[in-house]
Structure 1
Amino acid sequence: MLRIKKLDIFVLKSFLMLFSGTFFICLFIFMMQFLWRYVDELVGKGLEMSVLAQFFFLSALTLIPLSLPLAILLAALMTFGNFGERYELLSMKAAGIPLLRIIRPVVLFCMFLGVMSFFFQNVIGPRAQKELWTLLVSMKQKSPEVDIPEGVFYSDIEGYNIYVKHKDRETGILKDVLIYNFSDGFENAHIIWAAEGKLELTADKKHLYLHLYNGEQFENLKSQSVISRNVPYRRETFKEKHTLIAFDTNFEMVDGNFLNQRSDIKNMREISLAIDSLNMYADSVGHAMYSDAMKTTYRKPLLTKTDSTKIQTEHLSMINTDSILNSMTSAQRLKALNTTEMRLSSLISEWSMKSYMTREADGNIRRHQSDWHKKITLSLACIIFFFIGAPLGAIIRKGGLGMPVVISVLIFVLYYIIDSGATRVAKSGEMNIVLGTWMSTLILAPLGGFLTYKSNKDSVVFNIDVYAAFFRKLLGIRVSRHIFKKEVIIHTPDYNKICQELDDLCRKCETYGNTHKLLGPPNYYQVFTNNKHDDAIKEISQQMEALIEELSNTKDGVVLNFLNNYPFLSIKAHKSVSDNRWLNLLIGIIVPAGLLIWLNIWRYRVRLDKDLKTIVKTSRDIQERIKKSF
């Protein structure tokens, strides 16, 4: 029986508090991004608040499945980053509670969110998507508000072109108005000029009421004769003129049945039925094209029965068309080439249209299949992103909105690039549609499992010092010693004994340097056949470290500075690559790699010779300092 403990309530409460905030932040960001795509087409339409509220509500419903994974990732990173930063996670592990047990309540909650995400995509999402696209098309088709700018021609009123030189913003009076009325056709244009004017919208919002003062009107008259060169016109001068212009600004919802072919407005059952119907349609089109191709290919032969009999009698395997063409007259040859060109052009056009039909049908099928799988992959992303965010937060141990936000954005951008790129390639037919849609899940799911395993084992996978030490070891880069004066000294070093040990250390270093001749090139065969350790260097290193540890208790700052001159000795870097003899032999056989490793070992030998001389010199300096001061 599942028992809820105080720890579960604490972890779940901490996660929910952050998740509620991150979810609305992510949803707001996606809504602003969605609005930014259509803001140019919606601005200036005079839409009512109820229409805008419906637009934002429907867009929020459709973007919930996309916002959930990012919100879960960010909340998980922040929650467990806070636990690690406040040492709460360390306390839980110290009490014997493994990480998987700590995250269990949040895992169950994320599974619930995955199920809810699937429900949204399969039930609520398609309906909201259809209503959203219907509303968006209706908003695009709505006439804009009449706001005639100064100094430019305004053409948003159908059949009219209006120019205003100056506009009084307070009174709405238009100065120096020029109107081109093309409602009766371009050849019968009505041109009106007025010194002043005013434009109002009628109460039913279906007409514009135009008041003009002190102006003239020019109107072309239809010529009675078609061949007449002079077109008469009528000129009218007025002090006041009023006219109505049809301009419907009411918002009307269009019929959304034209969206029935879209795959994103269907649930999984409807998508499956649509795929079956599309496959049947594609098969019927393919059979029809095949029958047509067979009829076209096996139509009545151009050769006569006599020609066919002659070909069979003479056992001709092929017909020399060049000789036939050369035997024709120029007129016959031209006629044959023109006929062939016309026939080929007709075939190219015909098969281009047929190939377009088949490509469109196949693309529609792939889009339906992709959307069917997308409903599952987006639901699984809620769980996968938690298993990425929670271990990362436990490993990084950074809470707040700094590092977690950066990492969350980077991971989500990686997910989006993989998902959109692979899906686009799959929809184009260059990749299997199932593999393309599931590509992001197949890549990020192992990453989540790896991070969870490493975090549960308290791995140092994100410890920069570990990687720095590895590359320093790989490249042969050493760090310097940093020995400082101790505040509290337990015991004072025995300087007489230390001087004797320093003599012994110098003697061993000099003997080793004279015996091994480290400056000369090493034997290539011995480098790749020797897998033994250098015990002499190991002993020198241990003795040197023991002396450094003993002398670090001194109060003399000069001696401490001398201790920092001692190098860190590499025990086996100058001998061979590995302790495995067969691996050394294999590396030595590969000539380019073996030669580079041999040169690198030679470099380590030269460095060891320099280190031994440094040890001797430093030891002598310390001895002199001890003799003078103690």
Structure 2
Amino acid sequence: MKIVYRYILKELIQPFLFGVFAFTSIFVGSDVLISLAKLMMEYGLPIITTVKLFFLSLPQIVVWTFPMSMLLASLLAFGRLSGDSEITALKAGGVSFMRLVIPVLVVALLISGLTIWLNDTLVPKSTNLYEEIVWKMKHGETKPKTQQNLRIAPVDSATGKLDFVLTASKFDGETQTLNEVTLQNYEDGKLVNIIQAEKAKWLDSKWVFMNGVSYTITKEGRVPQTKFTKMNMKNRLNRDPEQISRRQKEPEEMSLKELGKHIELLEQEGQNVKKLKVTYHQRYSIPFACFIFALVGAPLGLQPNRSGSSIGLGLSIIVIFIYYTMMTVGSALGQSGNLTPWLGAWLQNIIFMIVGIGLLYKTQRF
């Protein structure tokens, strides 16, 4: 069986690499080159910078093509084996089709894992660097790390009531400083303390309020005040500069850990995070399409008149279109709340997996 497995994998690798190259070329020609050409005409983008942006855009595109390429490879590989009656010969030798599919599914699962890893490491970094370069080209400076009129008001997860309200006239990400800052602390939804300061700096992993006044609201309604030069806020303000900054990256520029933390913080502030949750789960579900497409593509490749490469390419485009249509519908349902976000992100995979298992069962019987 090892010889048969190696033979099948050899048949799979070539169309997979061809698919990556072909689909990448389509994306590059229809999107990337047009965008870069516009930047060159509008902003005089230098050739060296253009080449750099081109290569920075490739990681995202390549990982998009992995599921598509796996589908094409499965269709062409098994279509060729079927068309040359090699599948029939293997069955006559006592080798079931299910055993022939196993190495393909294993490889597809490994490619899914690779895609998830690339989506969590290389893609966010390259996308972020791409956006930084484009921003600097358009505005003549690096992206600002300041925010005016900052306000953060998280809700206590235990009580469901307001935890604190932080406001500042300005947040400077470079110096990690809040200017004209006010912190209102709540207990069980009631205001118990107000701290106002000229500024607050992030020092030694904690916020230090400087030159301010603290007002404590007692049960009797009194408001005694205490002036201070410095006040340690380690146990009162549990947000670091990265979490406080409203200059957040776009979801595609974040790793899974960063995106998960971002969702958690926004959820604490009572914001609608359904869209971000769908995006988070899609970071797993879309790469897993490599496995799903292999599950569907292998039995489809055995159908009559599927041995031609042009027919296999056409069929793969149809399947991909149906898949991404379902993904769009599932995503919309997840974002609107009609489905839970994880189900909205995985809906197309669940449907295609059921179809793939059905096709495998049907093929195994005949």
User: Which SS does the other structure have where 2:253 is aligned?
Assistant: coil
Identity level (%) = 22
Retained in 1: the 8 A contact 2:263–2:277?
Answer: yes
Q: Structure 1 pair 423/36, CA: closer, same or farther in 2 (3 Å)?
A: farther
> Residue 51 of structure 2 aligns with which residue?
53
Matched, 1:84 2:72: no
Relative to structure 1, the CA distance from residue 27 to residue 40 in structure 2 (aligned partners, 3 Å threshold; closer, same or farther) is: closer
Pairing of 1:441-460 with structure 2 (within 5 A): 441-458=349-366
1:11 aligns with 2:8: yes
Structure 1 match to 2:32? 35
| Counterpart position of 1:301 | none
Q: Residue 492 of structure 1 aligns with which residue? A: none
CA deviation digits over 1:381-430, x for unaligned, max 9?
10000011111001235223321111100110111111123213422444
Alignment deviations for residues 533-583 of structure 1 (CA, whole Å, 9 cap, x no partner): xxxxxxxxxxxxxxxxxxxxxxxxxxxxxxxxxxxxxxxxxxxxxxxxxxx
Q: Note the C-alpha offset of 1:63.
A: 1.7
The answer (yes or no) to whether the contact 1:422–1:439 under 8 Å persists in 2 is yes
Report deviation, 1:376.
1.1
Q: 2:329 is aligned with what amino acid?
A: G
Match of 1:434 in 2: 342
Equivalent-residue separation in structure 2 for 1:266 and 1:391 (angstroms): 37
Matched, 1:274 2:274: no
- 1:117 is aligned to 2:115: yes
CA distance in 2 between partners of 1:429 and 1:33 (Å): 33
What's the CA shift for 1:47?
2.5
**Contact kept? 1:395, 1:455, Cα under 8 Å:** no
Question: In 1, distance between residues paired with 2:292 and 2:306?
Answer: 21
Structure 2 spans left out of the alignment, 5+ residues: 141-244
Q: 1:129 offset after TM fit, Å?
A: 1.9
Q: Distance in 2 between matches of 1:33 and 1:140?
A: 22
Alignment of 1:370-389 (within 5 A): 370-389=278-297
Aligned partner of 1:274: which letter? H
| Contact 1:77–1:392 (Cα < 8 Å) also in 2 | yes
Distance 1:410 1:95, change over 3 A: same
**C-alpha displacement at 1:88, in angstroms?**
1.0
Q: In 2, Cα distance between the equivalents of 1:136 and 1:94?
A: 60
Q: Give the partner amino acid of 2:356.
A: G
Partners in 2 of 1:446 and 1:62 — Cα distance? Answer: 28
By how many angstroms is 1:62 displaced? 1.0
CA shift at 1:14, angstroms?
Answer: 1.0
Using a 3 Å threshold, how does the CA distance of structure 1 residues 33 and 140 change in structure 2: closer, same or farther? farther
Contact 1:82 1:397 in 2 (8 A): no
CA distance in 1: counterparts of 2:33 and 2:246, whole angstroms: 25
Of 260, 275, 278, the match for 2:248:
260
1:94 and 2:2 matched: no
CA gap of 1:80–1:397, structure 2 versus 1, over 3 A, is farther
Q: Which has the larger radius of gyration?
A: 1
Match of 1:404 among 298, 301, 312: 312
| Residues in 1 aligned to 2:105 and 2:288: alpha-carbon distance in whole angstroms | 12
Task: Give the residue type in structure 2 aligned to 1:401.
Answer: S
What SS does the aligned partner of 1:395 have? coil
Distance across 2 between alignment mates of 1:259 and 1:62: 22
Residue of 293, 300, 303 corresponding to 1:395: 303
The residue number in structure 2 matching 1:368 is 276
Alpha-carbon distance in 2 for matches of 1:279, 1:70: 34
* Matched ranges for 1:93-492 at <5 A: 93-141=91-139, 260-282=248-270, 361-362=271-272, 365-458=273-366
Read off the aligned partner of 2:119 and give its amino acid letter.
Q
Residue 371 of structure 1, CA deviation:
2.0
Tell me which residue corresponds to 2:238: none
CA deviations 1:497-536 (Å, max 9, x no partner) are: xxxxxxxxxxxxxxxxxxxxxxxxxxxxxxxxxxxxxxxx
Distance 1:400 1:386 in 2: 18
Query: Structure 1 pair 258/31, CA: closer, same or farther in 2 (3 Å)?
Result: farther
2 CA distance for matches of 1:374 and 1:58?
22
Q: Tell me if structure 2 keeps the 8 A contact 1:41–1:140.
A: no
Q: 1:69 aligns with which of 60, 63, 67?
A: 67
- Structure 2 counterpart of 1:115, which letter? G
Aligned partners of 1:100 and 1:456 also within 8 Å: yes
How far residue 99 of structure 1 moved from its aligned partner, in angstroms, is 0.7
Relative contact order, CA 8 A, sep 6+: which one is greater? 2
Partner letter of residue 126 of structure 2? Answer: A
Q: TM-score, normalised by structure 1?
A: 0.40
Report if aligned partners of 2:56, 2:130 keep a CA contact under 8 Å in 1.
yes
How far apart are the structure 2 equivalents of 1:424 and 1:137? Answer: 30
- Taking the aligned partners of 1:261 and 1:115, their CA distance within structure 2 comes to 24
Q: 1:111 to 1:276 in 2, by over 3 A?
A: same
Helix, strand or coil at the partner of 1:402? helix
- RMSD of aligned Cα (Å): 2.2
Kept in 2, the 8 Å contact 1:65–1:378? The answer is no
Secondary structure at 1:103 match in 2: helix
| Equivalent residue number for residue 21 of structure 2 | 24
Q: TM-score, normalised by structure 2?
A: 0.66
Alpha-carbon distance, 1:25 to partner: 0.7
| Whole-angstrom CA distance in 2 between matches of 1:14 and 1:396 | 19
| Unaligned ranges ≥5, structure 1 | 143-256, 283-360, 459-630
Decide whether aligned partners of structure 1 residues 40 and 46 sit closer, same or farther in structure 2, where only a CA change above 3 A counts.
closer
Aligned partners of 1:426 and 1:437 also within 8 Å: yes
Deviation of 1:89 after TM superposition, in Å, equals 1.1
2-structure distance, mates of 1:37, 1:373:
30
Which letter does structure 1 place at the counterpart of 2:256? M
Task: Give 1 or 2: higher strand fraction.
Answer: 2
Residue matched to 1:625: none
User: 1: distance between equivalents of 2:135 and 2:45?
Assistant: 13
Whether the 8 Å CA contact 1:130–1:259 is kept in 2: the answer is no
- Equivalent residue of 2:252, what SS? coil
Write the letter of the residue equivalent to 2:55: F
Deviation at 1:259, TM superposition (A): 5.9
Query: How far 1:119 sits from its partner (Å)?
Result: 0.3
- Which amino acid in 1 is paired with 2:254? K
